[in-house]
A and B are shown apart, each in its own frame.
Chain A
Amino acid sequence: MNPYLGGALLGLVLVAAFWISGRGLGASGAAKSVVVTGVKTVAPAHVEKTAFYQDYLKSHTNPMKDWLVFQMLGVVVGGFLSGAIAGRLKFTVEKSPKITNKIRLIFAVLGGIFFGFGSQLGRGCTSGSALTGMAVLSLSGFLSMAAIFGTAFALAYFARKLWI
């Protein structure tokens, strides 16, 4: 798809989300719902006596019955449909030809750990904080956009072997 057409469609999806639900797109919030639900299931006593989980559960009585969780389920379905139509469904590890699958997977996990942690600290990820925040012209949207992309650019040289 032409990237400008794709961007325009993504913008329209974002506007639709605001018109229907008064909020933008997001991803990391759904992952947090899953984590809190997981901890609650595995270690209910621990959740009982931890202030963070108690506070979170006060505003999210059922963390899985959440707007972002349903939206992310949709993302998985939508991504699968697009991939199926275009013939891109395939189990594979994507990486630079110069590195092994093992190195790629180690860095994918590491990157995930950083992104997961950062998305909580920054109250949202690229979708929820940067993209949605910029569309509503919020200060935090522009700041997180600059911080995420600025840091990735600044570190790109050190990570170049992973990609080129």
Chain B
Amino acid sequence: MGPLVVYEIISENVNLFLAFVIGIGFGFVLESNGFSSSRRLAGMFYGYDTTVLKVFFTAALVGSVGLLFLGLFKWIDLSSIYINPTYLWSTLGGGVVMGAGFIMGGYCPGTSFCAASIGKLDALAFIGGMFIGILIFTEGYPLWEGFYNAKFMGSPVISEMIGTSRGFLTLLVILVALGMFWVGEWAEKKFARDDYKLNQK
């Protein structure tokens, strides 16, 4: 029965070691899919390369279906996994600031480390900026503490909020993902660029 660390099947130190192994898998998959390229990441927002959209939604689809089945097989106790809390204003406000950072910098935090690992200097610059941004947040915390903690809603799961089953909501996620794939394939044809090759080495 998982999670293994919650049920004390593995120790805290083994958990940290496995975090490292999981990270290797995470970084390897990101890099193999070209998430180490800022032009590819930004390409999603102009339609010329929607790899990120496809990978992201396939991962969300496989992740939610995987958790659903592990739960049904009783291999994982879904009540003891971490659910992100919702603080309405800071979740949205933080997302808006991150979106602005994404289109300017071309990376998000995970992909910037991945890109830096293969020598992208713009990713190193992004990481430097990220440390500064976090420092601004921690140093100025009293200034935004109120906004940060406003509208706390607990850790709601959407299926429970709208009174439906996890399975039905997962089905909706699958349908949304399929819609996104269709949009992505369409956009890559419509916004193809002469100076940019898909799946470049």
Interface residue ranges, A against B (CB under 8 Å): 1, 3-4, 6-28, 31-32, 34-36, 38-39, 51-53, 56, 65, 67-68, 70-83, 86-97, 104-105, 107-156, 159-160, 162-164
Chain B nearest CB, measured from A28 CB (Å)? 5
Chain B nearest CB, measured from A109 CB (Å)? 4
Q: Is the CB of B110 within 8 A of A127?
A: yes
Interface residue ranges, B against A (CB under 8 Å): 2-6, 10, 15-33, 36-39, 42-43, 45-46, 48, 51, 54-67, 70, 75-76, 80-88, 90-123, 125-138, 141-142, 144, 147-148, 153, 155-159, 161, 166, 169-170, 173, 181, 193, 195-196, 201
Q: How far, in whole Å, are A96 and B193 apart by their CA atoms in the complex?
A: 12
Residue of A nearest to B86 (CB): A140
Q: Contact partner of B109 among A109, A119, A132, CB < 8 A?
A: A119
Q: Is the CB of B133 within 8 A of A134?
A: no
Q: Contact partner of A122 among B30, B93, B107, CB < 8 A?
A: B93
If A124-B84, A137-B158 touch, does A151 touch B99 (CB 8 Å cutoff)?
yes
Q: Is the CB of B122 within 8 A of A95?
A: yes
Q: Which residues of A contact B46 (CB under 8 A)?
A: 156, 160, 163-164
Q: Mostly helix, strand, loop or mixed at chain A's interface?
A: helix
Q: Which residues of A contact B133 (CB under 8 A)?
A: 112-120
Q: Is the CB of B66 within 8 A of A125?
A: no
Q: Contact partner of B22 among A56, A74, A109, A151, CB < 8 A?
A: A74
Q: How far, in whole Å, are A130 and B93 apart by their CA atoms in the complex?
A: 14
Q: Which residues of A contact B62 (CB under 8 A)?
A: 7-8, 10-12, 14-15
Q: Is the CB of A93 within 8 A of B27?
A: no
Tell me which of B21, B43, B48 has the highest count of chain A C-beta atoms within 10 A of its own C-beta. Answer: B21
Q: Mostly helix, strand, loop or mixed at chain B's interface?
A: helix
Q: Which residues of A contact B135 (CB under 8 A)?
A: 35, 39, 116
Q: Which residues of B contact A132 (CB under 8 A)?
A: 63, 84
Q: Is the CB of A129 within 8 A of B45?
A: no
If A10-B26, A78-B25, A143-B95 touch, does A112 touch B130 (CB 8 Å cutoff)?
yes
Chain B nearest CB, measured from A43 CB (Å)? 10
Q: Contact partner of B137 among A15, A72, A120, CB < 8 A?
A: A120
Q: Is the CB of A111 within 8 A of B94?
A: no
Q: How far, in whole Å, are A140 and B2 apart by their CA atoms in the complex?
A: 24
If A113-B136, A114-B98, A132-B84 touch, does A6 touch B33 (CB 8 Å cutoff)?
yes
Q: Is the CB of B26 within 8 A of A75?
A: yes
Tell me which of B27, B98, B109 has the highest count of chain A C-beta atoms within 10 A of its own C-beta. Answer: B98
Q: Is the CB of A114 within 8 A of B173?
A: no
Can you name 6 A-B pairs with beta carbons within 8 Å? A11-B63, A27-B109, A51-B142, A77-B23, A129-B84, A151-B99
Q: How far, in whole Å, are A7 and B46 apart by their CA atoms in the complex?
A: 21
Residue of B nearest to A14 (CB): B63
Q: Which residues of A contact B161 (CB under 8 A)?
A: 139
Q: Is the CB of A137 within 8 A of B64?
A: yes
Q: How far, in whole Å, are A46 and B98 apart by their CA atoms in the complex?
A: 28
Q: Which residues of B contact A145 (CB under 8 A)?
A: 95
If A11-B66, A163-B43 touch, does A134 touch B173 (CB 8 Å cutoff)?
yes
Q: Which residues of B contact A38 (CB under 8 A)?
A: 131
Q: Is the CB of A153 within 8 A of B42?
A: no
